[in-house]
Amino acid sequence: MLIDSHAHLDAPYFHNKLPLVLRRAREAGVTKIITIGVTPSSTKNGMKIATTHPSVHVAAGYHPHWAKGSDPDRLAEARRLAGLPATVALGEIGLDYHHFHSPKQDQIRLFRKMLEIAVEVHLPIIIHDRKAHADVYTILSEYRSKLVGGIIHCFSGDWKLARKYLDWDFFLSIPGTVTYSGRSDLREVAHKTPLNRLLLETDAPHLTPAPKQGKKNEPAFVRYTAQEVARIRGITFEEVAAATTQNVLQAFGLGE
């Protein structure tokens, strides 16, 4: 039993093949998937998917790539979606200093606004942090005491940064890149992080694990990430699956 804690099921790649993709996920032992909104319209698409597929849960997010277009109407819609009963988390939100699809100040403004919404609706946050470690940590520090919990999606920092978030009782989410050669930093984090603080994710259709390179990523492939984490830690696949499943239920308040 596995859970993919972060996928983008509303991505164009999945539009005509979602039933087949979800069937393959079930056959691979993936019992739940958290589909992540990146704009208000993306969140609404995720909610439509979740309505017809009980194994799918939705997070309401506003990705930094689209920060420039986050006008008052879209922010109001983001707040409305965050408050709906179907929403299990607020994310993904954060900063991206790699692509800079939106200017830095627009990203920071949106990040703060979404954190304020998370505090208001009492939802855990899912953080996107690409080459923005210092600013993400500093801004989160300002809100930390008011937040109900957090997940660092696709963790890309070193062990020193990981320990800071673990001190906050945040979860660290390990993507398929842990299977890539040359990712000793991520392997160290996967090895040293307490098992009760680890999540597994695909970020599908992105970041395909090494054994499936050449294909688009999908939730079924989270098995390869689990297998690699088990190898790194010297424990069984079943132990990793059981622990990370329980961690997702706790992180998102899903119960059992």
154-165 pLDDT, tens digit per residue, is 999 999 999 999
Question: Tokens 């109900």, residue?
Answer: 148
Q: Do residues 194 and 185 touch, judged by C-beta distance below 8 A? A: no
The CATH number for 157's domain is 3.20.20.140
pLDDT over 90 for what percent of the chain?
Answer: 99
pLDDT of residue 255: 76
Residue 176, domain member (yes or no): yes
Strand intervals (E) in 77-124 = 87-96
- pLDDT surpasses 60 at 256: no
Overall domain count for the chain: 1
- pLDDT surpasses 80 at 33: yes
Between 143 and 255, the more confident residue is: 143
Residue 256, domain member (yes or no): no
3-state helix, strand, coil in the chain (%, to 5): 50, 20, 30
Q: In what order do the strands lie in the sheet with 30-36?
A: 2-7, 30-36, 56-60, 87-96, 125-130, 150-152, 171-174, 198-200
For the stretch 81-98, what's the b/e string if a residue is b when 16 or more beta carbons lie within 10 angstroms of its beta carbon? Answer: bbeeeebbbbbbbbbbbe
Residues 6+ apart with CB under 8 A from 182: none
Q: Which domain holds residue 36?
A: 2-251
Residue 137, domain member (yes or no): yes
pLDDT of residue 213: 96
Residue 120, domain member (yes or no): yes
Residue type at 22?
A: L
**pLDDT, mean over the chain:** 97
pLDDT of residue 227: 98
- Range 210-239 average pLDDT: 98
Q: Give the length of the chain.
A: 256
Decide: pTM greater than 0.85: yes
